[in-house]
Amino acid sequence: MTFSTPTNAIQRMTNITIAFTIGLSILLSQINPLIVKATVETTPQSSITDDSFVTEEPAVVLPPQRLAKKTMTVVATAYSSEVGQTDSTPCIPAMYTFNLCEYFKKNGVEDTVAANFLPLGTEVRFPDIYGDKVFIVRDRMNAKYNGKSRIDFWKKDRGGAVKFGVNRMKMEVLEKEKVSLIK
């Protein structure tokens, strides 16, 4: 491959790099859309004179939006990891291989809900309150709530749970993520 000027070589290499990065981002977002949020930026260089490919704003590649397979209204309350609100192992939810307290300490994220009417591991969203944030059903509520559309949000402390109160809100049950392997 020959280039007539160094500027053409720089332009072509920049275009190839951008195309590769965008292609790789799209490929990875199909494998696991939760971890890929790539931003590709081009920086104007003094040796580049072709303004057709240089941009002032970054190109952003976002993962596809997960679809809701079911939408419903639920009554939502909140709880924290206290023996009085749970059982003798307050940090261990019904999904017993998980530790709520350690997870929060490591990640600073409150993304666990308790529900008796959804399978453990189900992913849900509350768009009117939390936007696109995804919560996971990792715990169960008291048996008196069996058969009811009731959700309990896990909060890091009692104050957060009390402040949450009781709310009626829209909940979306998300489709399972499809992972496609590329050969």
Domain boundary among 37, 61, 85: 61
- pLDDT at site 37: 42
Average pLDDT over residues 110-131: 94
Same domain, 50 and 79: no
Q: Which two tokens stand for residue 85?
A: 């609100």
Residues 55 and 130 in one domain: no
Same domain, yes or no, for 102 and 12? no
Under 8 Å between Cβ of 123 and 34: no
Helix, strand and coil content of the chain, in percent to the nearest 5, comes to: 25, 25, 50
Which residue range(s) make up the domain with 151?
A: 68-174
Rounded to a whole number of angstroms, the CA Rg of the chain reads 23
What is the number of structural domains in the chain? 2
Strands 167-174 and 112-114: unpaired
Confidence at 5, pLDDT banded by 50, 70, 90: low
- Looking at 22, 37, 61, the residue that finishes a domain is 61
Same domain, 44 and 92: no
Cα–Cα distance between 39 and 61 in angstroms, integer?
A: 6
pLDDT at 81: 81
pTM for the full predicted model:
0.61
Q: Are 65 and 131 in contact (CB under 8 A)?
A: no
Is the domain of 84 the same as that of 161?
yes
**Residues 169 and 80 placed together within one structural domain of the fold:** yes
In a domain, 181, yes or no: no
